[in-house]
């Protein structure tokens, strides 16, 4: 195999299969929640999450520039990463859809010192985070965050993953 001769990314036409390739990459399903400057809870579904560093404890998330939650993340500098358990598909769909008030009728509570919205009834864990860096990247913002606390939810060791444009439950009873 020949070595790359440039650090520049190779340009592919849109029909090259990029979206299909990314659909083949399974991802854990999370809901990122935050508070607006007025104290209103907001959130969105994400599989663009990664553990970044063990010491210090850091993680990273990708947030679309058009998303309603990005301003709250950048202003408040705190969020909760709710790692959905295997039965959380309905919650994922709710936070991925167009609804303006995604919290109406949903069980949630205020967590941490900032009162972040956490979805413990629907999550295996809620990871409470403080934004330490944000970086514009294409049509998304890369958010690097320090983990301030981890709260155990109700889902046990089960997980909800998204693969090939479908939800899959792992470790469900």
Buried b (16+ CB within 10 A) or exposed e, 8-30: eeeeeeeeeeeeeeeeeeebbbb
Q: How high is the pLDDT of residue 5?
A: 52
| pLDDT of the residue at 125 | 96
At residue 95, the 3 state secondary structure works out as helix
Give dist(CA 115, CA 117) in Å, integer.
6
**Residues of the chain falling short of pLDDT 70:** 1-16, 172-173
Give the pLDDT of residue 1: 46
The pLDDT assigned to 16 comes to 67
Task: State residue 121's pLDDT score.
Answer: 95
Other Cβ atoms closer than 10 A to 102: 24
CB 71 within 8 Å of CB 112: no
- Domains assigned to the chain: 30-161 (2.30.110.10)
pTM metric for this prediction: 0.89
């Amino acid at each position: 195999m020949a070595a790359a001769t440039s650090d520049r990314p190779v340009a592919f036409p849109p029909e090259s299969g990029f979206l299909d390739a990314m659909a083949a990459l399974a991802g854990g399903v999370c809901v990122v929640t935050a508070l607006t400057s007025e104290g209103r809870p907001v959130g969105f579904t994400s599989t663009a999450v990664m553990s970044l560093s063990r010491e210090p404890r850091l993680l990273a998330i990708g947030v679309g520039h058009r998303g309603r939650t990005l301003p709250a993340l950048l202003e408040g500098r705190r969020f909760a990463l709710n790692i959905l358990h295997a039965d959380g598909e309905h919650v994922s769909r709710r936070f991925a859809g167009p609804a303006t008030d995604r919290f109406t009728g949903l069980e949630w509570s205020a967590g941490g010192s900032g009162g972040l919205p956490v979805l413990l009834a629907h999550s295996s864990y809620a990871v409470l985070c403080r934004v330490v860096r944000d970086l514009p990247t294409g049509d998304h913002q890369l958010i690097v965050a320090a983990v301030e606390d981890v709260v155990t939810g109700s889902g046990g060791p089960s997980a909800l993953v998204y693969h090939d444009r479908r939800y899959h439950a792992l470790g469900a009873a």
